[in-house]
Amino acid sequence: MAKQSKAPRLLTHGQIWTALDRLAERAGLSASGLAKKSGLDPTTFNKSKRITPDGRERWPSTESIAKALEATNRSIDSFVQLIGDSARTGQSVPLLSFALAASDNHFDDGGFPAGKAWSEMALPHVDDEHAFALQISGDAMKPVYRDGDIIVVSPSTPIGRGDRVVVKTKAGEVMVRELKRRTTRTLELQSLNTGHADRTLAASEVAWIAKIIWASQ
């Protein structure tokens, strides 16, 4: 029987942006500092520019990459190496304190990270380029999550009954709960802390809901 050849590995949106972030780091620059040194608009490489308001991936142009390489005196071969490194080491995800998550300017309408308050953390592997991390503050979610724990949230992962989720309401409230039941009209949520009441929300009240796929415990 003929041996099947492996499908070629495709370049991903996350890998190219991680490579640009590493290019900036090795030059001692922030993403905006790299853009400015390259003669580009300072916001060109910002994380808020990597996803469009309607949730589509925005890729850097070849011209902007070429200018960044020239500004840092790096070759295209070295940039390809950075891309390869990002493919091997996994994905970097945006990180925000949970206490700041309710603010309107930290997420766009699709529930994706936006604004400048996000930092970054590296993970072994996350199969969602839109994933982000939140650092728990306070003890309201004990005993499941404690102060300082980090949860990774995946907007693209399907959600089922019993999953732990992050929910943001249109009124601006952000909560972590366990999904009890979901219908076209309502969302039934169980509290992680027995001292807090369960919640039932109308579907019309929910801005977005996303599954927790990892926690640093």
In terms of domains, do 57 and 143 share one? no
Residue 186 lies in a domain: yes
In terms of domains, do 129 and 185 share one? yes
Q: Which of 44, 37, 111, 95 is nearest to 68 (CA)?
A: 37
Dump pLDDT digits (tens) for 112-146.
888 878 887 766 566 777 888 999 988 889 889 98
Q: Which of 120, 125, 108 is nearest to 213 (CA)?
A: 125
84 vs 107, more confident: 107
Is residue 167 within 8 Å of 205, Cβ to Cβ? no
In terms of domains, do 36 and 131 share one? no
Residue 7 lies in a domain: no
Q: Over range 182-211, report the average pLDDT.
A: 94
92 vs 43, more confident: 43
Domain harbouring 32, CATH code: 1.10.260.40
In terms of domains, do 26 and 111 share one? no
In terms of domains, do 103 and 59 share one? no
In terms of domains, do 157 and 77 share one? no
Question: Domain boundary at 41, 60, 89, which?
Answer: 89
Residue 6 lies in a domain: no
Q: Cα 100 vs. chain centroid, distance in angstroms? A: 15
Q: Is the pLDDT at 81 greater than 60, yes or no?
A: yes
Helices (H), 27-168: 31-37, 62-71, 76-89
In terms of domains, do 85 and 108 share one? no
In terms of domains, do 123 and 64 share one? no
Q: Is the pLDDT at 156 greater than 80, yes or no?
A: yes
Q: Per the omega criterion (within 30 degrees of 0), is the bond before 94 cis?
A: no
In terms of domains, do 125 and 187 share one? yes
| Structural domain boundaries, residue 158 | 92-215
Domain count, the chain: 2
Domain harbouring 123, CATH code: 2.10.109.10
Dump pLDDT digits (tens) for 88-108.
555 678 888 998 898 878 888
